[in-house]
A and B are shown apart, each in its own frame.
Chain A
């Protein structure tokens, strides 16, 4: 295709938007509605996901080492753990460090524990992190059978329930978003189909005058893309102002201080870009779907 033809298709695509008047408004309206839904949903999902990730990342396995174990045994235990495929990091924490941590975490109360500094009753420990937090349970089970291990702990119940919840939340979210996008494509392709149906006679004429399918398709393609982009404007405005407002309100509300949402910058901008891309995609896809069957003249 020559550059001037590409320019011509672009010009025609833009002109069609004006030529089609009310149909354009209808298509853009359909895109706008769906993108607002998709946008709100994406924002919610991505934030939930982020929170879940944060919690998952905090999950670690603590391996208490047998009090009777000597230095070589401790070392070889460390090597063994490292060799497990799913393990990401292993760090040694001596019983002195363990006590420090304990005292620190107990605050005021912890001060009394300082007495134990002379005669530390705690174990040395390995802190293990899985590459994928979902493997935590498996790893813990394997470590349990190693020598010189007294106890393996990882907050069993909590972890398992959490993982399950996250899994569900992700799957459901994904299904909903894919469903929404497809509904949107269906809506757009239907609206565009109506505009094209009104123009099926014109398409027939164009073909009789010697236009190839590609030549006819391109302006529709560009028109669809522009409809999608136009339809993204209002949703993006809503996302940016809405998210800005939300972030401000949440940060002021102490009762919500544990809810840490993704920061406005860059998240709101990224989300806007995604919405823009989805809009353009929906528009292009919709126009391709609907123009296809009118080209057989």
Chain B
């Protein structure tokens, strides 16, 4: 499903964020990515949906070799991957509803299905009553939930979440984790970078620890392993 071999990433400014990553993640897994700030978690995640290209090494996603992937095909890869961005990446001039609907418009869903699925997913993340708001009118946590709704609305095979609970109060965090577990139980792969010791140690899943651009630990039903 996701396969990386000897992957290196050096950014244009000379910072080396990844230093030889080897990993295999199967369909249906639930994986936490942990590690200190600046360790390379986001970079690692960004490789999977091609926001960042590796300097070296091979990446295969859904049986597609990313180095062979034509620029034109990239959007189709991304449609199979729902991403919850660390900085949300909502479209500032679109309402909550329109932001979520966008992910369905690009795959040319019928308007009726769009309506239904958007309202359902907004209900799931508890934002149904704010559907008409624009991102600027929302709190950080609410924006994060819109980002979550957009990532899961088209039932992607993989959901990638970069600190999806970073701005949420404990109650809402657990709510979101419940959503993740539910879609994971239906076969969706979940990859989640997090700093939440509490979540990692409570909902036990595979844990991959990244430090200085290297995978230093990879355990099933692992622990967070850092002081919170």
Is B92 in contact with A209, judged by CB distance below 8 angstroms?
no
5 pairs, CB–CB < 8 Å, chain A vs chain B: A208-B78, A209-B89, A209-B150, A210-B75, A210-B106
Is B106 in contact with A208, judged by CB distance below 8 angstroms?
no
Is B111 in contact with A209, judged by CB distance below 8 angstroms?
no
From 65 to 120 in chain B, residues with beta carbon under 8 angstroms from any chain A beta carbon are 72, 74-76, 78-79, 83, 85, 89-93, 102-103, 105-108, 110-111
Tell me, yes or no, whether A206 is within 8 Å of chain B by CB: yes
Is A205 in contact with B91, judged by CB distance below 8 angstroms?
yes
Is A208 in contact with B105, judged by CB distance below 8 angstroms?
no
A218 to B102, alpha carbons, bound, how many Å? 14
Is A211 in contact with B106, judged by CB distance below 8 angstroms?
yes
How many residues of chain B get a CB closer than 8 Å to chain A's CBs? Answer: 24
Which chain B residues border A82 with CB–CB below 8 Å? none
Q: Which 10 A-B pairs have the closest CB atoms?
A: A210-B79, A210-B78, A212-B75, A211-B106, A205-B89, A2-B108, A210-B75, A19-B93, A210-B106, A5-B108
Binary interface profile of A, 85-127, with partner B (CB < 8 Å = 1, else 0)?
A: 0000000000000000000000000000000000000000000
A215 to B150, alpha carbons, bound, how many Å? 18
A208 to B102, alpha carbons, bound, how many Å? 11
What is the minimal beta-carbon distance from B211 to any residue of chain A, in angstroms? 27
* Number of interchain pairs (Cβ within 8 Å): 50
Tell me, yes or no, whether A170 is within 8 Å of chain B by CB: no
Which chain A residues border B91 with CB–CB below 8 Å? 202, 205-206
Tell me, yes or no, whether A83 is within 8 Å of chain B by CB: no
From 1 to 59 in chain B, residues with beta carbon under 8 angstroms from any chain A beta carbon are 49, 51
Is B102 in contact with A206, judged by CB distance below 8 angstroms?
yes
What is the minimal beta-carbon distance from A1 to any residue of chain B, in angstroms? 8
Is B93 in contact with A4, judged by CB distance below 8 angstroms?
no
Which chain B residues border A202 with CB–CB below 8 Å? 91-93
Is B93 in contact with A209, judged by CB distance below 8 angstroms?
no
A8 to B49, alpha carbons, bound, how many Å? 26
Known: A206-B106, A207-B75, A209-B150; 20 extra A-B contacts, CB below 8 A, are A2-B108, A4-B108, A5-B105, A5-B108, A8-B105, A19-B93, A202-B91, A202-B93, A205-B89, A205-B90, A206-B91, A207-B74, A208-B51, A208-B85, A209-B83, A210-B79, A210-B103, A211-B75, A211-B106, A215-B75
What is the minimal beta-carbon distance from B146 to any residue of chain A, in angstroms? 12
From 183 to 221 in chain A, residues with beta carbon under 8 angstroms from any chain B beta carbon are 202, 205-213, 215
Q: Output the residue of A202, A205, A208, A209 with the most chain B CB within 10 A.
A: A209
What is the minimal beta-carbon distance from B75 to any residue of chain A, in angstroms? 5
Is B110 in contact with A4, judged by CB distance below 8 angstroms?
yes
Which chain B residues border A4 with CB–CB below 8 Å? 108, 110-111
A207 to B105, alpha carbons, bound, how many Å? 13
Which chain B residues border A206 with CB–CB below 8 Å? 91, 102, 106
A213 to B71, alpha carbons, bound, how many Å? 10
A169 to B35, alpha carbons, bound, how many Å? 75
Which chain B residues border A211 with CB–CB below 8 Å? 75, 102, 106
